[in-house]
Every structure is written in structure tokens, then in C-alpha cells.
Amino acid sequence: MKPEILFLKYAFPCSFVLKQRGEISQETLDMLENAAINSMPLGREILEKIYFRAIARMKALAKELHKDYFSEDLIREYFTKRHNELLDGMCNGIKDKGLDIDKNAPPALKHLCKVFSSKIIKKGEDYYVVHYDYGGQNKKTRVVSRSLLPDAEIGDFVAIHYGYAVEKV
């Protein structure tokens, strides 16, 4: 998969929040949704402008790991690991302006923002119901849209971000 497509699939679920915060317009949100659903690669300069927070953190991570910041490998490393660690406040040594307003954020919302590996237990017309581990013995259930990953089956493991299945893992 082209890194531009993979990045957008992981980042797109956050776009609703950017719209709620007034950072992007409804037209931009629709354009991003269309590109994410149809796996259309957008220009990197557009992605870097809209998702500047993620890009800045990916660049920092790439520097640590001596990797290209816009490779499939690094995009997965960022969204499935670093992004969650930042939300858990585990990266105290890292300067991160974007986190300033989020320190007091409710746990339920931080939780939705994380990326989890989950198992599909039910398939609906346009959604999956998934199960995922959440601390020790706790299993959580979530409804996620099939729009970014329409062809997964019951029993498959998929990465989820907010209300979307992102890719098979």
C-alpha cells in the first residue's frame, strides 16, 4: 500500500475532530473521506498540512529510529505504538505541544483516540462489531464502520481507530 493511502486510513478517523474544532471545512472532510474510502493517494503536502500534529510526531519518531518518516513501517509504528504511548502520558521526555490541552481529557475519549488490534465477531451491512483486550482480562466491544476496510471477515484481526476498521493486522 502506498504510504499516502496507509497514512490517511489511520489518520482519517480523527478528521471529524478537526472539523468539530473548526480546523477544516465540511468540503475538506468530504474530500478526505472520499480519498480514504477509495484508497486515493493525496499529495503529501495536503496531508502534512491537515495532520500536522501526527506528522510532527512521526518525524520525531523517525529521527529516533533512523528511519524515513513517511514509510509504511513508520506510519504503523507511530499509529499503533507511539500514538497510544503519548495518550497514556508515557513519553514525558518528549516535548509535545499538541498534548497541552489534553492532559485533563476524560479517559473515555482518550481511549477512543487510541489504536487497538481487535477481532471481528459480527459483520453487518456497513459495520463490524469487534472485541479487543483492554487491560488484563477486560474485553471491550466496539462498533466500527466498514467503509475504510470493507472486505474483512468474522475472525479477522483488524486495527481500529475511533469508529473505523483501518487495516487487517
Contacting positions for other proteins (CB under 8 A): 13-14, 16-18, 20-21, 53, 83, 86-87, 98-99, 102, 104-110, 112-113, 122, 124, 126-127, 129, 141-145, 147, 162-164
List all residues 6 or more positions away from 89 whose beta carbon is below 8 Å from its beta carbon. Answer: 103
Task: With beta carbons less than 8 A apart as the criterion, state whether 15 and 46 touch.
Answer: no
* Shortest Cβ 20–other proteins spacing (Å): 5
Task: Find residue 127's DSSP bridge partners.
Answer: 145
Q: What single DSSP character describes residue 68?
A: -
Residue whose C-alpha cell reads 474483512 in the numeric block: 152
Closer to other proteins at the Cβ: 20 or 138?
Answer: 20
Closest contact distance (angstroms) between CB of 66 and other proteins is 25
User: Cβ 25 to other proteins, closest distance in Å?
Assistant: 13
Place of cell 468540503: 27
Rounded Cα gap, residues 55 and 59, in angstroms: 6
Residues 6+ apart with CB under 8 A from 56: 98
Measured at the alpha carbon of residue 156, what is the angle toward residues 146 and 14, in degrees to the nearest 5?
Answer: 40
When the beta carbons of 62 and 144 are compared against other proteins, the nearer one is: 144
When the beta carbons of 76 and 161 are compared against other proteins, the nearer one is 161
| Least distance (Å) between residue 141 CB and other proteins | 7
Query: Which is nearer to other proteins, 69 or 164 (by Cβ)?
Result: 164
Backbone angles phi, psi at 115, to 5 degrees: -100, 130
Closer to other proteins at the Cβ: 93 or 108? 108
* Least gap, CB of 134 to other proteins (angstroms): 12
